[in-house]
Amino acid sequence: MPRSGFVALIPVAPGRLEELERVLLSWGNDVLLEDEGGLKPDAFVDFRDQQFIHFMRFALLKVDNEQRLLITADFDLEIHDFLEFLRRKTTCPDAIWGLCVGWRKEIDFSLWFLNFVVVPEATYIAFPGVTLQRVNQAVALFKFRDEVLSGRFSPRRQGITEAARILVRVDCLFRAAFFIRNAAKSAYRTIGLLFSRKLDLSRQEMRLLWEGGRRVASSLNRVWWIRAFNILSRNPAPVAVPIWSSARPPFHRLTSFAGYPAEDSVFQNQLTLLTSFPAAEEARLRGVLRSIDLYARGLAFPGSLLGIATIHTVRWTILPDCHGVPGRIWLLMTSNYDGSWDSYISEFCARIFSGLDAIWGCAEGAPPAGARDIPAFKEFLRTRQIPAAVFYSAYKGGSVSFTRMALTLRPVNRLIAGLVG
Amino acid sequence: MKDLLSAEDTNDIQSWIYSGYPHLPKSTYAFLRIDDQIRARQFLKGIPWQISSATKSRNRQAQSHQVLNVAFTAMGLLALGIDDETVEKFPIEFQEGMNAPHRGAFLGDISPGGKPDHTVRDYAASAVHLLFACHFISASVRDSWISKFQRDSSAGGLSLVGLELGELADSGKEHFGFKDGISNPEIHGFKGAGSATGEFILGYPNEQGCMPVSPLLSPESDPHDLLPPAMCDNRNMRDLGRNGTYLVFRKLAQDVSAFWNFIADDCRRRLGRAEPADLVWLASKLVGRWPNGVSLVEAPHFDAYSEIMQERLKAGSLNDFTYGQTDTSGHRCPFAAHVARMNPRDRIQGLSESEALGTTARHRLLRRGRRYGPELFDLKILDTPESWNRLQQLFQSRPEAQDTTRSDRGLFFIAFCANIREQFEFVQRAWGNNPHFNSAKGSQDPLIGTNSSITPGRSGIPIPDRDGGITTGLVPQAVSFRGGGYFFLPSIAAFRWICHGK
């Protein structure tokens, strides 16, 4: 089964926003703890009942006075099959789709829905091609290995525990095999991308792609091959001149995002960010995003985007058909990540600030000093963040780094499981 | 970006930032409310010459028998007649204070639903305007200062809201019996090495090359020309924050019986016995250091006479270690141990060693804590295995009345940082209370975590070893927050400006 996902923006019928919001909020949310309204089992998609949705979210956006329902999903199906699943599962379609523009019972749901699916400019998936079932199996095997090693599993069969302990000592071999396999895959994918038709770019687009890539790379000297690239292409790191933080009164309350009091107590978190840009920046922005996309599809290693190992998925989408204010474009970022918002943003700001600046440097309201000015940048993001009305995560107990470890050691853990029989 | 501070600047910085006054074991923290603005201003105008500067502290001959430092809350600045516009230039966390309900929830002091998990009874946030912190060489000097200060301050239009007495034990131990305050960053501006000055003192670039948020005023606001000009691209402005910093004060009560009884119970539950060595081993695993302060990374097994322990204790170099090379898997010092959460050094999951060091450097705190209350038992017995039996006698059975004195004891957590949100609040929330930080597997900080009902599904502390390791039972709330606040510790020049007003 292939792994895919989508970003859909469905216009909400005029005057029906509040009703829709009420319906969505009644399903609960995985960013909340159970006693505060965690995702309910009787939500309109019964998430317990399936083995193929990684993440899903519903949020309500306001873009240039137009209300839209944002739906993003990551799943192990063809999009048509997923939409068919969604249609079947919707017990009362009128209660949700009926509040959106253009929905009628008679029309084909998939065809209607596909009208609103937008193609992201850049996509990163931590484990592309790995199904949820495989992840769950790897995690279960890893937990089983812990059981065996602790001797709790079969106290009478000490021999097995001892054998497992010997196998664990050669973990490094399996890590090396994982590395080599993925390095080969990356190289293969990159070569494939370079010669594919997707890269049939005009001169202008090539130039923008090159410039975007250079900007993103300039603060990434810690990665050896990017350092080599920076030296060869004379791409120096941005000079850190002391600057004043542009965080200025009135300060926003940044403590925790409205509605998410327990934002740090959940395993997975989500970020929906809607930022606006002058339309003149569109070509440049597309160049930057395409360079990120190219990296994510080609060179990126499983579970690590430029060394940041907390992201499950991230998508950047330039919203089409937003003509409310001429001369302005909207960039939507949707991401699913591990742990606390604070750490997530701090990590980004500290480690790939040139990348963040390449994307948001000329966004409306971005701090003049860019992402290096962490307080101001966090304020910029928080004030543009959109709460998810519904958020579902299948990775209840697994961070990206844990999942990567479980997948890396899956072969050895299978051997251990085989020993036990 | 990383220059030494000029003599002028060190003269302007309150000495508390430079030193924790190890030679002055007694301290008092007087929390005051301003009742009469005009009299209070007059009283405070006489204070700056009493405040000790970093230069004085550096020059050992000039060390006196008592040292005074003063800090303000945002309410205090308003009560002194500083206008709203100026106070609003301070960071929001300072303006709101530690006890604002949503901030309490954020820090874990109150559960998200607003149910108070701790009794924040000691000080109501709005009532405290000023903190007078004074350190003394002896209790008698302290007593005479207190009685004089009480007279003077009430004559000066101030009323005393609370008076706390702190002390620094000879052993340097907190009440659970572990050496405290070991890991403190050096400030580059003072020592020529260590963290960027702007991580701890306002008006200088921090590790990111960014100036921390500091209230900048127009020259007209400073007619007496008291304030220094702002640095970098704001030279036409006056910097009220420069050479000052933010002070985080938290009174944390420690329930010593609950802590050691939990340790004894947990040993008994898993091993069926509670040998003294097991007790010390488990407690040290939760803390991340042995009771004498030596890191578990450097000495994975306790041997008071081993070379490494003797060497570390003699040289006083208890802080010169990293996790990376020796302890990537947490087999020596668990990921979830208190010190590994508060200062993960070069070991943060998903980051390389150098990246983790960089991340840690941006979230450090300059600690000046002191403890209060009498010791429950002789804490020195923890340092030598021969006397560990005593511990077993103390906590082997579980009579609730072990703590017959029922004394209040604990510590004053006092920390300086240039950015409360990115330093204190970040460490408290994203590292201490975060159940998913660094393989914490659902646990929170064993000592300062909000080990209460806030996080459903939370678990005990995982202690990994080569064979999979163990997980302790649920840690009780042995440390509880009793009250505190965010203060602005101004430079001496800024103090003068505050007293003079515009």
Residues A222 and A318 in one domain: yes
Neighboring chain B residues of A347 at a CB cutoff of 8 Å: 351, 359
**Cα distance between residue A345 and residue A331, in whole Å:** 18
**Domain span including residue A77:** 4-119
CB contact under 8 A, A253 and B96: yes
**pLDDT for residue B116:** 43
CB contact under 8 A, A262 and B468: no
- Which percentage of chain A shows pLDDT scores above 90? 11
Q: First and final CA of chain A: distance in angstroms?
A: 28
CB contact under 8 A, B92 and A400: no
**pLDDT for residue B249:** 93
Domain membership of residue A124 (yes or no) is no
CB contact under 8 A, B468 and A149: yes
**pLDDT for residue B119:** 38
Residues A346 and A405 in one domain: no
- The model's confidence at residue B115, banded by pLDDT at 50, 70 and 90, is very low
Q: Which long-range contacts (CB under 8 A, 24 or more apart) does B101-107 make?
A: B102/A253, B102/A255, B102/A256, B103/A255, B105/A256, B105/A261, B106/A255, B106/A256, B106/B425, B106/B429, B107/B425, B107/B428, B107/B429, B107/B433
Closest CA to B335 of B432, B265, B454, B450: B432
Neighboring chain B residues of A406 at a CB cutoff of 8 Å: none
Identify which of A146, A253, A267 has the shortest CB distance to residue B468: A146
CB contact under 8 A, B103 and A343: no
Q: List the Cα angle B189/B195/B200 in 5-degree steps.
A: 70
pLDDT, tens digit (0-9, with 9 covering 90-100), for B248-268: 999 898 988 889 988 988 888
More confident residue, B33 or A222: B33
The pLDDT of residue B412 is above 60: yes
**pLDDT for residue B71:** 95
**Cα distance between residue A404 and residue B350, in whole Å:** 11
Residues A322 and A366 in one domain: yes
CB contact under 8 A, B456 and A33: yes
The pLDDT of residue B7 is above 50: yes
Identify which of B113, B435, B468 has the shortest CB distance to residue A265: B435
Residues A296 and A348 in one domain: yes
Q: Does A372 touch chain B (CB under 8 A)?
A: yes
CB A353 within 8 A of CB A219: yes
Residues A55 and A156 in one domain: no
Neighboring chain A residues of B112 at a CB cutoff of 8 Å: 33, 36, 261-262
User: Can you tell me whether residue A79 is helix, strand or coil?
Assistant: helix
CB contact under 8 A, A338 and B436: yes
Domain membership of residue A354 (yes or no) is yes
Among B110, B210, B352, most A C-beta atoms within 10 A, so best to mutate, is: B210
State the average pLDDT over residues A28-36.
Answer: 64
Domain membership of residue A125 (yes or no) is no
The pLDDT of residue B118 is above 50: no
Taking CA–CA distances from A351, the nearest residue in chain B reads B355
User: Can you tell me whether residue B254 is helix, strand or coil?
Assistant: strand
For residue A51, the domain's CATH number is 3.30.70
Residues A296 and A370 in one domain: yes
Residues A301 and A156 in one domain: no
CB contact under 8 A, B210 and A151: no
SS (H, E, C) B214-235: CCEECHHHCCCCCCCECCHHHC
Final residue of a structural domain among A75, A98, A119: A119
- Which percentage of chain A shows pLDDT scores above 70? 86
CA distance to A110, A192, B124, B386, per residue, from B156 (Å): 77, 79, 22, 55
Taking CA–CA distances from A304, the nearest residue in chain B reads B350
pLDDT, tens digit (0-9, with 9 covering 90-100), for A179-226: 888 888 888 888 887 777 666 677 888 888 888 888 888 878 877 888
Final residue of a structural domain among A89, A119, A149: A119
Residues A216 and A313 in one domain: yes
State the ipTM, two decimals.
0.77
CB contact under 8 A, A267 and B436: yes
Contacts of B351 (CB under 8 A, 6+ apart): A307, A347, B359
State the average pLDDT over residues B453-460.
Answer: 59
Number of domains in chain A: 3
Domain membership of residue A358 (yes or no) is yes
The pLDDT of residue B43 is above 90: yes
**Cα distance between residue A157 and residue A155, in whole Å:** 6
Taking CA–CA distances from A222, the nearest residue in chain B reads B355
- The model's confidence at residue A41, banded by pLDDT at 50, 70 and 90, is low
**pLDDT for residue B110:** 64
- The model's confidence at residue A334, banded by pLDDT at 50, 70 and 90, is very high
Domain membership of residue A60 (yes or no) is yes
Identify which of A36, A146, A309 has the shortest CB distance to residue B112: A36
Domain membership of residue A260 (yes or no) is yes
CB contact under 8 A, B213 and A247: yes
Residues A139 and A221 in one domain: no
Q: Does A151 touch chain B (CB under 8 A)?
A: yes
Final residue of a structural domain among A88, A119, A150: A119
Residues A217 and A87 in one domain: no
pLDDT, tens digit (0-9, with 9 covering 90-100), for B46-82: 888 888 888 887 776 556 888 999 999 998 999 999 9
- The model's confidence at residue B113, banded by pLDDT at 50, 70 and 90, is very low
Domain membership of residue A126 (yes or no) is no
pLDDT, tens digit (0-9, with 9 covering 90-100), for A66-95: 889 999 999 998 899 999 888 887 777 788
- Token reading at B289: 């250091």
Taking CA–CA distances from B358, the nearest residue in chain A reads A350
**pLDDT for residue B140:** 94
- The model's confidence at residue B121, banded by pLDDT at 50, 70 and 90, is very low
Residues A384 and A408 in one domain: no
Domain membership of residue A389 (yes or no) is yes
pLDDT, tens digit (0-9, with 9 covering 90-100), for B162-179: 889 999 988 889 999 999
Residues A11 and A136 in one domain: no
**pLDDT for residue B248:** 95
- The model's confidence at residue B112, banded by pLDDT at 50, 70 and 90, is very low
